[in-house]
A and B are shown apart, each in its own frame.
Chain A
Amino acid sequence: MALIQREALDREDPQRRVPIAEAFWWAEEDHGLLGEVGSYNTPKDRHGEYRGGTIGASPAYSFTAHIADLSVDVETGVTTVHKVWVAHDCGQALSRRIVEGQMEGSVYMGFAEAIMEEHVVDPEHNGEHTGPSLLDYRMPTFLDTPDIEALIVEAPDAQGPYGAKEAGEGPLHPIIPAIANGIYDAVGVRIDRLPFSPPRVLAAIQAREAEVAAGHVQPHKTNARRAG
């Protein structure tokens, strides 16, 4: 039997054919669920002694690079990320669509952490979380999320399953420093606490302006402001 163009056909007599879904129904009626179970486990001897080293890391490191195009509004401290390019070496991509989805999701989550999300508890009110709902704990909407371009880099690793490395956490990490560097490039301030919220960025810009006024540092290049 062969499965061709959504049909199952008899190899000996190709005129005998049925839609593929029907062929699967028949087969499952006769044999139960058509499925195979398999698993992959990370090698036992790879973990280090450091904290978190025993999680069962993949045998090879993945590699990721991010580029963020952004602008900073010097009057409000609002950082607008316009576009992110993410290139991720996942080893062999077992499903390109899933790997791309992982990369885009990672950019979104890391971007959200960089710009908005923050767990704050209030010691003056019995340690209550100040953003206990999806209204007060702000996560970016479609309107806030930059365009994302995912570029898969395939460099298979002999020890990974079918040559795969990973496409989980790796594609997230560089977005936060990429945005931090972008802010530095735009307005000359280094923010080393998350998130890079408007009040925090504005305070840093104003502190720098005061330093400039006092003659302690040079003015930053002045092409930083884009319409915001």
Chain B
Amino acid sequence: MLRLPRLDVLMPATLDEAVLALQSPGSRLIAGGTDLLPNLKHRLESPTMLVSLAGVRELSTITVDDDAQELVIGAGATLTTVEQCPQVRAHAPSLCSAAGLVASPLIRNQATLGGNVNLDTRCRYVNQTDFWRSAIGGCIKSEGTVCHVVPGGKNCVAAMSSDCVPVLISLGASLQLVGPNGRRRVAMKDYYVADGTRHTTREDGEVTTAVIVPLVSTPRRAGYSKWTVRGSIDFPLTSVALCFDLERDEVAAPIAGATVVVGVLGAKPRVVTRLDEVVGKSLSDPETAAIVAERVHRQCKPLANVPYEAPYRRQMLRVHTRRAIEALVADG
């Protein structure tokens, strides 16, 4: 059995106390713990104190701010809550889909959205017991100096494996962060960087307090496609978020803007470029799906970082992207 290392746990009741506690060396933030605790059992980190957000009530509310035209989801909301929340369903249905596809029902009851957007990157050579890793001498992200995915590589390319992140980026979401120097807001498309050992621009003492999704009044169709081997539990092996703004509220209408974001490549989600070609085309035109699928296939190159054949995953990106658009069209 894998055991947790010995550590202290602090349960602050307010955000200010949590931010303060995080300033002491060796402390580490924990929300649902469904990512952090396995990583601690695998001895990937060795904090001496966990600062739990479980008692910070102010973080778990979900509200619609009519003045700012924003959906504000507290970082402490569980994925089950996000999936089932009527306000999220009304304004960001693709986020409900993604949240509802994470892991398994039990994990979603425990896991938070704040933890999901800060989920550590994953790799078949690092998310293992320290005993297993010791047989290959670790790697850049653990005890070693080399990368097993890109031999000779100096940079860790562990995969950003969150289901919600590609969707949130496709919806133009931002994060609210609070730290010792006050609060700031950062667009999620700028939050992630291509370094698997530290893949966000979050400062050590900062807490993500909310995920903010702008409301739109124009017609839109958005969806999320995730493929895994099993129907439950698994992290995504292909992950594609799509968002189409339309000129009228019907799938035959011309596209006014398209955003496609792909996860589980390297440490940073990829925003697919050169989609202007489908602007003006009808969403239901089969050529639209073919063009977008082709762009995704061309620009996204899965690596051997997660446990499944990378060439197959690349082929599937094309198929699943096309099918995701077909599903949006079929839904009307």
A residues touching B (Cβ–Cβ < 8 Å)?
A: 75-76, 116, 125-126, 128-133, 135-136, 138, 140-144, 198-199, 202
Contacts and interface: CB of A to CB of B under 8 A. Distances in A.
A132 B307 contact: no
A125 B136 contact: yes
22 contacts: A75-B319, A76-B319, A126-B135, A126-B136, A128-B132, A128-B135, A129-B132, A130-B307, A131-B307, A132-B128, A132-B132, A133-B129, A135-B233, A136-B307, A140-B230, A141-B230, A143-B230, A143-B232, A144-B231, A199-B309, A202-B312, A202-B315
Contacts of B125: 125
What is the interface of chain B mostly: helix, strand, loop, or mixed?
loop
Contacts, number: 50
Nearest to B136: A125
B124 to A, nearest CB: 7
A141 B232 CA distance: 7
Contacts of A143: 230-232
Interface residues of B, number: 23
A138 B230 contact: yes
Interface of B: 124-125, 127-129, 132, 135-136, 148, 229-235, 307, 309, 311-312, 315-316, 319
A130 B229 contact: no
A136 B136 CA distance: 17
A169 to B, nearest CB: 25
Nearest to A137: B307
B136 A132 contact: no
Nearest to A131: B307
What is the interface of chain A mostly: helix, strand, loop, or mixed?
loop
A116 B132 contact: no
Given A132-B128, A133-B128, A125 B312 contact: no
B124 A136 contact: yes
A125 to B, nearest CB: 5
Nearest to B312: A199
A141 B233 contact: yes
Contacts of B229: 116, 138, 198
A90 B312 CA distance: 42
Contacts of B124: 130, 136
Nearest to B309: A199
Contacts of B128: 132-133
Nearest to A198: B312
A125 B126 CA distance: 13
A132 B132 CA distance: 8
Which one of B125, B136, B229, B234 has the greatest number of beta carbons of chain A within 10 Å? Answer: B229
A132 B42 CA distance: 13
A128 B136 contact: yes
B229 to A, nearest CB: 5
Contacts of B234: 135, 138
A144 B136 contact: no
A124 to B, nearest CB: 8
A130 B148 CA distance: 13
Contacts of A140: 230
